[in-house]
Structure 1
Amino acid sequence: MNEGQQRANIQTGADVEIVLKKDQRTGKRTKGTVKEILTNAPTHPHGIKVKLMDDQVGRVKKVNA
């Protein structure tokens, strides 16, 4: 299980890489800062869904320390 699949690894204000819905086929990643965590479950197989500061929504693939 990667870090983006566990809600405990993601906090608001964290720098992350997400895949937007429109980019799911290509897997293109978008970098940003977490504004809000949208997934309530502790884990999700495709990544925790978050909203970035610029209001883009996607699933976390990587958490940048």
Structure 2
Amino acid sequence: MIVCHCRVVSDGKVANAIESGARTLAGICRSTGAGRDCGACVFSLKRLLCEHGRPLPAMPPEVEVAAS
């Protein structure tokens, strides 16, 4: 499926970028070219990042209780 129509970037290409190390929206945009023109695809790129990205590491215990 085409995610970015301006640069003709597919969801497969975005998934490959994530598997190759893109961990942020900016990283996906740099490696695929998506999201650099009209920006209509940004929400789809974020969704794909959440679906295909690795979970973030847990917060260290001292950070979790810092607010108390």
Please say whether Structure 1 and Structure 2 have the same fold, judged by a TM-score greater than 0.5. no
TM bin (shorter chain): under 0.3
Tell which has more relative contact order, 1 or 2 (C-alpha 8 A, sep 6+).
Answer: 1
User: Would you tell me which structure has more helix in proportion to its own residues?
Assistant: 2
TM norm structure 1: 0.25
* Larger-Rg structure: 2
